[in-house]
Structure formats: C-alpha cells, structure tokens
C-alpha cells in the first residue's frame, strides 16, 4: 500500500504543465515512471472534478484515457440499461453514483472491506460490485464503515464517503502544488477532451 509521502513525491517529481480552460485548471502530469495523468480542478471551488490516466495495453499500445474521477467517457458499445458508475469528489467527501439501479433503497448494502474496497450488494442478489478507492490507497488508508452513507433516487444509488483528515491534508498539499504552477496559454498543452 502506498503512502501519502510516496504519492506526493511522485507528483512533485513529475513534469507538470497547466492551463486554465472552460473554468477549470487542467494539469498534465508526466510521471518519472512514464505514466501520464490529467487532473481538472474547478477554478471557482478548487475541487477536483476530473482525474484520468493514460493507459497502455500489455504490448505497449495506446488504449486511451481511463477516467478515475468524473463522468466516464461515453462508450457506444455499452448497454444503456446496465449500471454505470461515475466518481465525484467534493470538499469533504468522495462520491460514487451508480446509475440504472431500479431497486428500492432497503435492498442495498454498502460495506467497507478489509481488502481496501467498498462493496455494494443487493439482498435480491441482482447486483454486486467491489469499488476500489485509490484516494484512500494513496493515503495509506482503508475504508471505514462509519464514514459511508448512501441514498437512492431516480434509479441512482449515491454512495458518499466522508474524507478522513489524512486524505484532506494530502489533497490540500496536492492542490497547493498545482495552484503554484505557471499556467500556459490556452491551447499550448495536449490534454484529453473533457
């Protein structure tokens, strides 16, 4: 499991470029290990609205950008009726929205697991999903049950995880780092489409 210090050092050592576009501070990280990550922060709230990683296949071919935080890129091959998970973050919480789940709220159970995941299951055995929480992994933490709450409305299960102080502190340090970057003029930097 990574530590806060390892994550902060990885970001500190990365080559970083930043632009402000469409009300967002967009930061591109080229890590020393060759990985690429893009983060977008709302200029109004300073909250992370998107994080995506550039993925490569086993043979090194480009797969494209995989969204960790924010709405996933639409895939025409996806079944519009199947559950779709998106990840959001607020100043105080991590949030997952699982769309296309029509069961009533009392059918769902959302639990923190020893393996570092959050598990969603239904008592009618129609839905089961283990959700990884990379933010907590980077902070060297595991999910805690008392930080989890959930609600269900409009066929969407909304899971909220109250951020622990260690994660809030780590996010503050990352934002301080990206907010001090020199901002390039719009259009000078290659970033994935949002």
Task: Specify the length of the chain in residues.
Answer: 194
- Which CATH number belongs to the domain containing residue 121 in this structure? 2.60.40.790
Query: 149-192, pLDDT tens digit by residue?
Result: 999 999 999 999 999 999 999 999 999 999 999 887 654 444 44
The pTM score is 0.86
User: In whole angstroms, what is the distance from residue 142 CA to residue 112 CA?
Assistant: 8
Does 76 fall in a domain? no
- How many structural domains compose the chain? 1
Q: What is the DSSP string of 156-173?
A: EEEEEEEPPHHHHHHHHH
Identify the domain containing residue 91 by its residue range.
Answer: 4-70+81-180
Query: 19-63, pLDDT tens digit by residue?
Result: 999 999 999 999 998 899 999 999 999 999 999 999 887 777 777
Phi, psi of 71 (to 5 degrees): -75, 135
Which residues are CB-contacts of 103 (< 8 A; sequence separation ≥ 6)? Answer: 122, 124, 126, 127, 152
Which residues are CB-contacts of 180 (< 8 A; sequence separation ≥ 6)? Answer: none
Does 144 fall in a domain? yes
Query: 99-142, pLDDT tens digit by residue?
Result: 999 999 999 999 999 999 999 999 999 999 999 999 999 999 99
């Amino acid at each position: 499991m990574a530590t806060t210090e390892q994550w902060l050092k990885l970001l500190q050592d990365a080559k970083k470029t930043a632009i402000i576009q469409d009300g967002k501070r967009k930061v591109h990280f080229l890590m020393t290990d060759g990985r690429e990550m893009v983060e977008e922060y709302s200029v109004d709230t300073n909250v992370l609205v998107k994080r995506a990683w550039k993925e490569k296949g086993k043979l090194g071919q480009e797969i494209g950008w995989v969204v960790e935080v924010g709405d996933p890129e639409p895939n025409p091959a996806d079944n519009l009726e199947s559950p779709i998970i998106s990840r959001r973050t607020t100043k105080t919480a991590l949030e997952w929205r699982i769309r296309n789940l029509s069961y009533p709220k009392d059918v769902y159970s959302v639990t923190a697991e020893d393996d570092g995941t959050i598990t969603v299951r239904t008592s009618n055995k129609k839905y089961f999903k283990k959700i990884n929480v990379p933010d907590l992994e980077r902070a060297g933490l595991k999910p805690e049950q008392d930080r989890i709450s959930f609600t269900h409305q409009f066929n969407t299960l909304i899971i909220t995880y109250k951020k622990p102080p260690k994660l809030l502190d780590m996010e503050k340090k990352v934002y301080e780092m990206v907010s001090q970057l020199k901002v390039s003029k719009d259009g000078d930097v290659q970033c994935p489409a949002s």
